[in-house]
Structure 1
Amino acid sequence: MSDMEFEKSPQPYGNHQAPAQYEPGEGCLTTLIRIPVRIVVLLVVLPVRMVWDLLVVCGRAVERVLLRPLGRALAWVFENVITPLALATAWLAVFLGKALFVWPWVALWTYVVVPVVTYGLVVPLVWIYRQLLTPLGHGLARLVENLLLAPLGWIYRRLLTPLGLGTTWLAVFLGKALFVWPWVALWTYVVVPVVTYGLVVPLVWIYRQLLTPLGHGIAWLVSTVCRGLWAAVVWLVVTLLVTPVVWVHRHILAPVGREIAAAIGVAWRIAGYISRAVGRAVKWLAWNLIGRPVRWTYQNICTPVGHVVRDAIWRPAKKAAVETGRAAGAALRAAGEVVRQARRDAWRALVGGPPAPKGVEPGVRRARRLGDTQQTQTVPGAAAEPEISLHKQV
């Protein structure tokens, strides 16, 4: 390979030459202050992070060991106990409510109030209205119409109507001549011209020619003065308040806040690594100091001792207890049989009855032998019984 391959071509200055996390405006002072700040923040954040990790581990253990089983138990109790009990209570409450407050009133309304009101009040009133009041009203109406309304109508149409038309026309004419036409003429020819040309026209001319230009000038003057004052106030506020605040925020607060936030983030991550390392160390120490000896003790001491106790003590004791229980049960059954036989004998002796059948001794079955010619005994002291095959028995 030639030497040219090892030479580096000159690179123009750019962003690739700037250090990581570089921001314009940072100098040596910021870099020198950053490391002590991060160390101090790490010393402050490390206990918090370790306590936080410990709380997280404890919370997960409590959630896994206590909260999950408790939640399942509460869910089971709610589903299998509280819900059926609540449903049964609600059904019983609804049934009792209906039985006490609904059904009696429904029955009272249906079978007492409605029949009594219907057949005791409504039906008689309807019969009285239809059979008595309606014919009586029709008769009275016809009587009044024929005896009173018909003569009055004839008098009104034949006498009062012609006389009333003339009187009405004269009254209207006199009323208008005395109370309407004079006032209309006064309003039209006196009041309206005087008010229009003596008051309204001068006022309109004064408003248009004097007041409107004067108002426009005053408004322009006030708006100009207000704009000047507002511009001066804005300039003063920007110059005396906003600019210093922006400068302080940009050159002091923002860098300090950014450094503090970055220091907290870095310290939190480093504290997490340290906390995990401490946790692993504690876990290793706990396993080697407690878990491993306990495991060795359980595997090499407790397990063999438990096997010995199980095989040498527990199983024989259990077998002896079972045999003792069986023997005691047999003895109790035999004693019970003896007591029942004695009770029957005593009852028979007091009351009387057929004699008890004598017990027949069962035939002593001889021991089996292989054949007629072979007399080998299988049971000591017992005569052998001839061996007969099944097809010979049949």
Structure 2
Amino acid sequence: MDLEKPPQRQPGEGCLTVAIRLPVRIVVLVLVVPVRMVWDALVVGGRLLRDTVLRPVGRVLAWVAWAVFVWPWVTLWRYVLVPLGRGLAWLGRVLVVVPAVWAYRNVLTPAGRGIAWVLRAIGAGLGWVLRGIGAGLGWVYARVLTPVGHAVLWLLKGIGYVLAVLGTGVYAVVAWLVRHLVVVPAVWLYTYVLTPVGHGIAWLAAGLMWLVRVIFTGIGAALYWTVRLLLVLPALTLWRWILAPVGRVLVVVGREIGEALGHAWRVAGHISLAVGRFLGTLFRWIFVEPVRWVYRTVLTPLGHFVRDTVLRPAAEAARSVGRITRQALAAARETARQARADFRRMLFGDPREPETISRGEPTAGDTRTLGSSTTALTKD
């Protein structure tokens, strides 16, 4: 069996909050209502100005800017620069590219091939000469330089062996002297002199550090309690018993003022909407409805009467005049055409009929059929 959870209790509000809320909201509402109505009026005026003035003016300015700044450059590019560039490209092709291609094909290519053939011949001759020189140098290296080098290498090996023996003996003597004259005295000095002195200095430094630490620990404790008693405890008392309660009161007042502003702004919006609707209804009954009644009951019948009695007969008369004028112009054109034809016939006579040329084909009466033939052997 499921147990229902008990409803959670809302935290109660203090008496200070309840005492501050109502007067703050009344004062804020009185101050905010005129501001909200002015704000709504400005918003409506701004939207009307944007829709009736700024947008048409912006479109006109955009069209003017396009006509003044963009269209001349487009026209200049399309009808001046592009044809001029094409003409210059054609001239460059005719005057530069075509002669250069012709010179490359008919002059530079044969000249380059000739120069390449000459260079190949020179290279072949130089290669033959260098191969001869290389063969001579190889013979000198194999027959002269190699034996001399072997002899010099054998001599250097003997000298190196002698020097190695002498160096080994000298190194042993020097090492024995350094060990007994430098290393042994230094080890004795470090072990029996420097080590006891260093231990004594380290003990003395440790005692001094302990003394300094004790002194600074006492000074730090004295400063800590002095600062705590003179600064921290008074500041903590001031924060706990004065600043914190005043801050809580200011937080409550600020929160209530913020909530009152939001509530007053919403209420002022409803009031402004009601006032706006009332003014709109008043404007409609004072101005719009009379104008609409005049348009429906006076101007519309008068316009229909003018249309039926004046405009339509005038339009029919204009169309009739137009038809008669077109017919008269057509008759005049036909008459002028006939007069020109008669005048030309009177001066030059009738035009000759085109002569028919026989192409050897039978006429309609002599056409071939299945029972007849045009050959001499089968003709009846």
**Which TM bucket (shorter chain)?**
0.5 to 0.7
Alpha carbons of structure 1 residues 164 and 318: separation in structure 2 relative to 1, 3 Å = same
Q: Report what 1:255 is aligned to.
A: 252
State which of 282, 286, 291 in structure 2 corresponds to 1:285: 282
* Amino acid in structure 1 at the alignment position of 2:149: Y
Whole-Å Cα distance in 2 between the matches of residues 313 and 50 of structure 1?
52
Q: Report what 2:355 is aligned to.
A: none
SS in 1 for 2:139: helix
Identity between Structure 1 and Structure 2 (%): 31
* Amino acid in structure 2 at the alignment position of 1:23: E
State which of 202, 205, 211 in structure 1 corresponds to 2:205: 211
Whole-Å Cα distance in 2 between the matches of residues 340 and 196 of structure 1?
144
1:193 aligns with 2:187: yes
| 1:369-392 deviation digits (Å, cap 9, x = unpaired) | xxxxxxxxxxxxxxxxxxxxxxxx
Alpha carbons of structure 1 residues 144 and 187: separation in structure 2 relative to 1, 3 Å = farther
State which of 3, 13, 32 in structure 2 corresponds to 1:23: 13
Tell me by how many angstroms 1:305 deviates.
1.3
1:151 aligns with 2:144: yes
Whole-Å Cα distance in 2 between the matches of residues 178 and 137 of structure 1?
54
State which of 324, 328, 331 in structure 1 corresponds to 2:328: 331
Q: Report what 1:139 is aligned to.
A: 132
SS in 1 for 2:13: coil
Whole-Å Cα distance in 1 between the matches of residues 179 and 125 of structure 2?
67
Q: Report what 2:265 is aligned to.
A: 268
* Amino acid in structure 1 at the alignment position of 2:147: W
Write the mapping of 1:82-161 to structure 2, written as runs, cut at 5 A: 112=104, 119=113, 128-129=122-123, 131-148=124-141, 150-157=143-150, 159-161=151-153
Whole-Å Cα distance in 2 between the matches of residues 233 and 133 of structure 1?
101
Q: Report what 1:240 is aligned to.
A: 235
Q: Report what 1:45 is aligned to.
A: 32
Tell me by how many angstroms 1:317 deviates.
0.8
Whole-Å Cα distance in 2 between the matches of residues 117 and 254 of structure 1?
99
Q: Report what 1:369 is aligned to.
A: none
Whole-Å Cα distance in 2 between the matches of residues 43 and 36 of structure 1?
11
Alpha carbons of structure 1 residues 320 and 280: separation in structure 2 relative to 1, 3 Å = same
* Contact 2:29/2:265 (8 A) holds in 1: yes
* Contact 2:20/2:253 (8 A) holds in 1: no
| 1:34-89 deviation digits (Å, cap 9, x = unpaired) | 43432332233223323443454456667778869x89xx9xxx9xx99xx8xx99
Write the mapping of 1:55-74 to structure 2, written as runs, cut at 5 A: 55-57=42-44
1:164 aligns with 2:151: no
State which of 307, 312, 325 in structure 1 corresponds to 2:304: 307
Whole-Å Cα distance in 2 between the matches of residues 156 and 228 of structure 1?
92
Q: Report what 2:347 is aligned to.
A: 352
* Amino acid in structure 2 at the alignment position of 1:139: G
* Structure-2-length-normalised TM-score: 0.60
Tell me by how many angstroms 1:160 deviates.
3.0
Q: Report what 2:366 is aligned to.
A: none
Alpha carbons of structure 1 residues 139 and 341: separation in structure 2 relative to 1, 3 Å = closer
Tell me by how many angstroms 1:187 deviates.
6.5
The 10-residue stretch of structure 1 (306-315 or 43-52) with the greater mean CA deviation from structure 2: 43-52
Tell me by how many angstroms 1:142 deviates.
3.0
Q: Report what 2:371 is aligned to.
A: none
* Structure 2 spans left out of the alignment, 5+ residues: 1-7, 351-380
| 1:195-248 deviation digits (Å, cap 9, x = unpaired) | 744786357535643435644664676577558756865783574278268516
* Amino acid in structure 1 at the alignment position of 2:163: A
Tell me by how many angstroms 1:319 deviates.
0.6
Alpha carbons of structure 1 residues 144 and 332: separation in structure 2 relative to 1, 3 Å = closer
* Structure 1 spans left out of the alignment, 5+ residues: 1-13, 356-394
Alpha carbons of structure 1 residues 293 and 39: separation in structure 2 relative to 1, 3 Å = same
* Amino acid in structure 1 at the alignment position of 2:303: G
Alpha carbons of structure 1 residues 38 and 112: separation in structure 2 relative to 1, 3 Å = farther
Whole-Å Cα distance in 2 between the matches of residues 176 and 63 of structure 1?
107
* Contact 2:20/2:256 (8 A) holds in 1: no
Tell me by how many angstroms 1:289 deviates.
1.4
Alpha carbons of structure 1 residues 338 and 134: separation in structure 2 relative to 1, 3 Å = closer
SS in 2 for 1:23: coil
* Amino acid in structure 2 at the alignment position of 1:258: R
